[in-house]
Structure 1
Amino acid sequence: MDVSRILAIVGPTGTGKSDLAIDVATRLAERGIRAEVVGADAMQLYRGMDIGTAKLPIEERGGIPHHLIDVLEPSEEATVAWYQPRAREAIESIRSRGALPILVGGSGLYVSSVLYDFAFPARDPELRARLEAEAAALGTAQLLERLRGLDPETAERVDAANLRRVIRALEVAELQQQGYGAALPERPELWSPATVIGLHVPRTNLVGRLDARVERMWRAGLLDEVRGLLNRGIERGTTASRAIGYAQAIAQLRGDLSEADAIAETQRLTRRYARRQVSWFKRYAELQWLNAGAETVADAESAPEASYAQARGRLADAALDRLAR
């Protein structure tokens, strides 16, 4: 088996990507092949953000080394420009040890920044500060209208509800760069040979699974986790404080949302995020979809243990088959 390749496991949230990575690495170890995981989840970069990101506990990682998880404080900003060189450095380091790098995550831009060759537009701190001040004074709509005048194509695809991205897009446009830097190139070229596997769950099944997972997060103590993160400065962080689930938990703790409303809003945003993830990964020419059946994911609590283990084993074997081709 060619361990110089990258095995990328991607797909929408809630499809069992982390579990599959462990199962594949364990099966490879049985064949005398070592593997290590590189995280590609923007929110799992943060220490202390465990429940709301469905981060796999260390004791459930099977002794498999994991990289780019728990590397930032919640008060720090996570950007893809920061992430890309560190993830690639981790991959090269894994290869130097004769092990297979497994890139795992659902943050599409982060995955793309590792798999494909594309550069990031320049930054101008003074221009950024001016745009942030204008946004505070005038609102997002006026900045978005200006962006439409400078770069209509980028204005169409940028997330208008994400102020940080609107500002960044306008910064790039005003610096006369071509388009918005946080986008997959039209004809991406692989940075390194890779096998890209996407986990698929039918939409009707995934929706119920995601809604149930959000409810379990609250039962598992998400509010207590967020209380601790408030003491660590999560509200000073421009990225962590906006994470789905965490923003709603903060609002509940501040008395701005009831628990029922916080859960409902988190469910709605999670469903929307999953749709956007599927759309993003569909653009990958290299992507090979695998069906992640109901009994192969961690929230299939009703599945008999033997059936659950067999189903996970079949999925891991299918992934290894794709890798060996």
Structure 2
Amino acid sequence: MATSLQKHTSDFKPPPGHGKIACHLPSGTRKPAFSTFRASYPLKFLTPKVHIPYLAAVYFLSYGGGMVSGDSICIDIETFQNVNLMLLTQGSTKIYKQRAQKESIHDSSECLQAEPKNLSSVTRQSLNAYVHESSLLLQLPEPTTCFRDAEYVQSQIFSLENGASVVILDWFTSGRMSRGERWEFARYESGVNLLIGGKLVLRDVVLLQNGDYNNNCASFMKNKDENNINNLNRRLEPYECFATLVIYGPKVISLTNHIMDEFDKIVVDKMDKIADLIWSASALRIEEKTNRGVVIKVAGVTTEIVRSFLVGVALKGLNEIIGENLFERAL
């Protein structure tokens, strides 16, 4: 079984881009408290006042409103028994363009040969969460938006004790659509791992990369052309926003049952035109004949259409746990 995150002394200063949060429920109260709450530049945490019993909320922020090339963010989260912790972001997570790579010329080659990619140029973010029994972690960020030429790699690991619950939202847009950028980033990779009682029960990875981009070659930014840069655009049009939603555990079983009931109502039939929104749901069963969770995939022609689906269908009823005002702020 996965072990609890190690505790550190209060005067410990995390390395750049690292943060840690531990949230517990003091004896005799219904208001969670933070035993650990720290982050270092360029990462910042803010916690709003919450008046819902057993609920706490944290906003993840970055200076400058986004992550620049070479940023590396690492966050550790631990929620103790009977705590409901909601993780939010203020606005979409912006991933700025990748810095150009150095190149070396080898006379024996007919073309430029690139040096191995400098890993410091890749924008990275990792989240490691440990959720204790009878607690609930809600990961409800705004969507990730990668700028032209950006390269982003994200990893999220959620380790749950038996009896713990999670709601995990992982979604992204095609880019700065207001500036005409659609799927023009170099690479986007995001992975979600869910472990229950130390056992891996779900691994979901989204990998999108443009044209002739190659992890061992820095020539993408130099040699890209219109055909390459629109490679993803051609494959993904007309959809501009994609989402993965994972719901699991006893505290959100009503959400699981609701979304499966809605999915059962869908009639598969031939369509005359492409739908503005498409979605699917798959039951997440840890034991045979036991439906304790669901994995939902969504694609929409706009971010707002996906947002409306999440609020009005997939997460309908979540306000009973987090309150109506916070639910509006969450999505």
Give the alignment's TM-score, normalised by structure 1: 0.28
Which protein has the larger Cα radius of gyration, Structure 1 or Structure 2?
A: 2
Superposition TM-score, scaled by structure 2 size:
0.28
Bigger fraction of residues in helix:
1
